Amino acid sequence: MKNKTLQGYTLQRLLGKGGMAEVWYAENNLGKPAAIKLMLPKFIGEEQVVKRFESEARAIVQLNHPNIRQVVDFGDFENRPFIIMEYLVGDDLGKLMQKGERFSDEALKKWWKQCVSALKHTHSKGVIHRDIKPSNIFVTKDGNVKILDFGIAKVRDEISMTQTGQGLGTVKYMSPEQINDPKRVGKETDYYSLGMTFAHIIKGSFPLNITKDDSAFAVQSKIVNGDLDLSGILDDWKETIQVAVSTDSENRKLISNNDIDRTIVEKINLRPNEKRAKNAITLIWIVLTLDILWFMSSYWQYHLLQTINDGSYVSDKTWDLSSTIDSIISALYLVVSVISGVTFIKWFRRSYFNLHLKVDGLLYSEGWAAGSWFVPILNLFRPYRIMKELYIKTKDLLINNNISYHQNINTSYLGWWWVLWNVEKWIVNWLPSFILKDETISELITSSIIYMISNSINVLLAIITILEFN
């Protein structure tokens, strides 16, 4: 390929070769240098790959930002698509890190702003990078950075990992959602990868505990589970990095508006979310209504069983109607319980995460804070302690920030609420199994009484919640 001319640029020397393309140094007739990325010959027959390469080239040629490597033109040479890019003098962050170079906090802050600015520009054009990592951030000789290889990750998606030789260098900077569904990622995936890149640089080691022996699947599992070690991150960076590498992509939307001179968490609204609070109360009212209906249904069954036990006649139609009503209410209760549970985990986890950004020294991670509600056997008092901690720390935070909108809550209510909740779950999940051995009439009557007690406790829990938190 040496001395071949592509669109007025003559290839002079090979700069590098990857799993998908090779990059050449070239000059035009005026001596202007350029870097030309030329797809490898083995992909000529891959029609989808070639089309993707060309479509992405058309998209990125429209990008014009000082912190993005400029694409001058694109074309085709002997059925091999190529991209003509500006030639850069300097080195990428990946190579600089391998050399053991350390960077000043001032330089890192400048580069972060430049990267965020570049990503905001590309996202506004509908282009997502999908492969932000140290080797794709280039430090020029004048001390600025330029992001490389926009759009190339989508091309690589058309090629198997084996064909491209893609290794952990790319995988370990992927966002959780990119791992779960790589074809449906938003701009937040770029901010996650950027956060992981800067966490690596600032910390001096990769924030995931991985080894060379770890498979790509093992690394991806750790990313999805959020097993990150952010110790050693400078205080000026800690909050920003925490937001950027959050497993919840919604939190990362804050990054696009981030000014690192004004800490990002100042933009998290401390005031309670009244819309969510109203939605929560609505769910509680629905649960309360279903509990009352279920109590009435259980009482009706109890009455019918007593009638049968006394030797009186109960028609099959009446009994079938009672069973049908009970089944319908049970199904509705299950649906509402699942919706409420999922909603609760999402809101509670986000609340605890946001509190983590504002307050140091919280006892648990946000995942454990939400999940512990559903494993009370491990520690019956832990969920109550987490809930109490969340309330007290948030209240103190509001007061310290001169926000008067807060409500004093008697935390003993929380304790009693939690005790009743555990008792009710124990009654429903365990007691009937000890009683209903032969399913005799007397056992069914006792079981109906247990369900009425359980429904009564649920009604009491809902009333306490509505009265205290409405």
CA distance 270 to 92: 40
Task: Decide if 403 contacts 394 (C-beta within 8 A).
Answer: no
pLDDT of residue 333: 82
Equal fold, 5-86 vs 90-267: no
Please state the φ and ψ torsions of residue 175, each to the nearest 5 degrees.
-80, 160
pLDDT digits (tens, 9 = 90+) for 186-220: 888 899 899 999 999 988 888 888 777 777 788 78
pLDDT digits (tens, 9 = 90+) for 393-416: 777 776 666 555 555 666 676 677
CA distance 112 to 130: 17
- Confidence band of 376 (pLDDT split at 50, 70, 90): low
pLDDT digits (tens, 9 = 90+) for 427-470: 766 776 666 665 678 878 888 888 888 888 888 888 877 776 65
pLDDT digits (tens, 9 = 90+) for 97-142: 999 888 888 899 899 989 998 998 888 888 888 889 998 999 999 9
Assigned token pair, 53 = 């390469």
Whether residue 172 has pLDDT greater than 80: yes
Helices of type H across 181-273:
188-203, 216-225, 235-244
Q: Which residues, listed in sequence order, are joined to residue 17 by a DSSP beta bridge?
A: 22
- The set of residues, in sequence order, having a beta carbon less than 8 Å from that of 264 and lying 6+ positions away, is 239, 240, 243, 254, 255, 258, 357
CA distance 97 to 204: 9
| Residue 410 CB neighbours (<10 A) | 9
Q: Which of 92, 131, 149, 291 is catalytic?
A: 131
More confident residue, 162 or 211: 211
Whether residue 360 has pLDDT greater than 70: no
pTM for the full predicted model: 0.56
* Residue from 431, 433, 428 nearest 458 by CA: 428
**E strands within 359-412?**
none
pLDDT above 70: percentage of residues in the chain: 79
Half-sphere exposure of 304 (CA within 13 A, CB side): 18
CA distance 91 to 16: 13
Average pLDDT over residues 304-312: 85
pLDDT of residue 261: 42
Q: Is 90 exposed, middle or buried (0-12, 13-18, 19+ CB in 10 A)?
A: middle
Q: Is 428 exposed, middle or buried (0-12, 13-18, 19+ CB in 10 A)?
A: middle
DSSP, residue by residue, 438-461 = S--HHHHHHHHHHHHHHHHHHHHH
Average pLDDT, the chain: 78
pLDDT of residue 243: 82
* Residue from 88, 78, 101, 97 nearest 15 by CA: 88
Assigned token pair, 27 = 């000059």
- Is 235 a known active-site residue? no
pLDDT of residue 144: 93
* Domain residue extents for the chain: 5-86, 90-267, 274-469
- The set of residues, in sequence order, having a beta carbon less than 8 Å from that of 282 and lying 6+ positions away, is none
Average pLDDT over residues 150-162: 49
**E strands within 158-303?**
none
What CATH number should be reported for the domain whose range is 5-86? 3.30.200.20
CA distance 207 to 211: 12
Measured between alpha carbons, how far is residue 352 from residues 160, 314, 358 in Å? 39, 54, 10
Whether residue 369 has pLDDT greater than 90: no
What CATH number should be reported for the domain whose range is 90-267? 1.10.510.10
Torsion of CA 155, 156, 158, 163, to 10 degrees: 140
CA distance 209 to 231: 12
